[in-house]
Amino acid sequence: MSSMKDVARLAGVSVSTVSRVINESIPVDENTKKKVLDAIDRLNYKPNLLAKGLRVKSGHLIGFIVPEISLHPFVNLINSMEEYVVRRGFNLILGNTQNDPNVEEMQIDHFIRRNVDGVVITRVSDESRILEIIDKSNIPFVAVDRELEMQELPSVVLDNYKAGVLAARHLRELGHRQFACITGPLNIKLCRERLNGFKDALAEDAIPFSRERVFEGDFKFNSGIKGMEYLFHQRIPITALWAQNDLMAVGCLKVLQQKGIRVPEDMSLMGMDDLEIARMVNPTLTTIKQPFKQMSREAVDILLRMRSGQDLKEKKVVLQPQLVKRSSTAPPITQPVYHNSSLDA
- Architecture label for domain 48-153+292-318: 3-Layer(aba) Sandwich (3.40)
Give the pairing type, strands 155-158 and 179-183: unpaired
Distance CA 143, CA 223 (A): 26
The backbone torsions φ and ψ at residue 287, rounded to the nearest 5 degrees and listed phi first, read -155, 175
**Backbone angle region of 272, left / alpha / beta, with phi > 0 → left and psi within -120 to 50 → alpha:** beta
Give one DSSP letter per residue of 111-180, joined into a string: HHHTT-SEEEE--S-TT---HHHHHH-SS-EEEESS--S-TTS-EEEE-HHHHHHHHHHHHHHTT---EE
Angle ∠(313,315,316) on CA atoms, nearest 5: 115
Give one DSSP letter per residue of 179-231, joined into a string: EEEEES-TTSHHHHHHHHHHHHHHHTTT----GGGEEE--SSHHHHHHHHHHH
pLDDT score of 54:
41
Contacting residues for 131 by C-beta, under 8 A, at least 6 apart: 148, 149, 150, 153
Distance CA 153, CA 203 (A): 34
**Domain boundaries in the chain?**
1-46, 48-153+292-318, 160-286
pLDDT score of 28:
76
pLDDT score of 46:
66
pLDDT score of 127:
66
**Size (the chain), residues:** 345
| Whether the domain at 1-46 and the domain at 160-286 fall into the same CATH topology | no
Contacting residues for 280 by C-beta, under 8 A, at least 6 apart: none
Distance CA 60, CA 51 (A): 11
| CA 14 distance to own-chain centroid | 38
Note whether 119 and 139 are within 8 A (CB).
yes
The backbone torsions φ and ψ at residue 167, rounded to the nearest 5 degrees and listed phi first, read -65, -50
CATH class of 1-46: mainly alpha
Looking at residue 75, the DSSP 8-state letter turns out to be H
pLDDT score of 1:
63
Q: Comparing C-alpha atoms, which of 304, 265, 275 is closest to residue 30?
A: 304
Angle formed by the axes of helices 189-203 and 160-173, nearest 10°: 30
pLDDT score of 89:
87
Distance CA 177, CA 209 (A): 10
Ordered mean pLDDT values, 10 residues apiece, the chain (345 residues): 82 81 69 86 68 53 90 89 91 90 84 87 74 76 79 87 98 96 93 97 93 95 96 92 97 96 96 96 97 94 88 86 98 70 39
pLDDT score of 151:
58
The fold adopted by the segment(s) 160-286 is: Rossmann fold (3.40.50)
pLDDT score of 342:
38
Alpha carbon dihedral 181, 252, 271, 286, in 10-degree steps, equals -120
**pTM score, two decimals?**
0.79
Distance CA 309, CA 189 (A): 30
Looking only at Cα atoms, what is the longest distance across the chain?
74
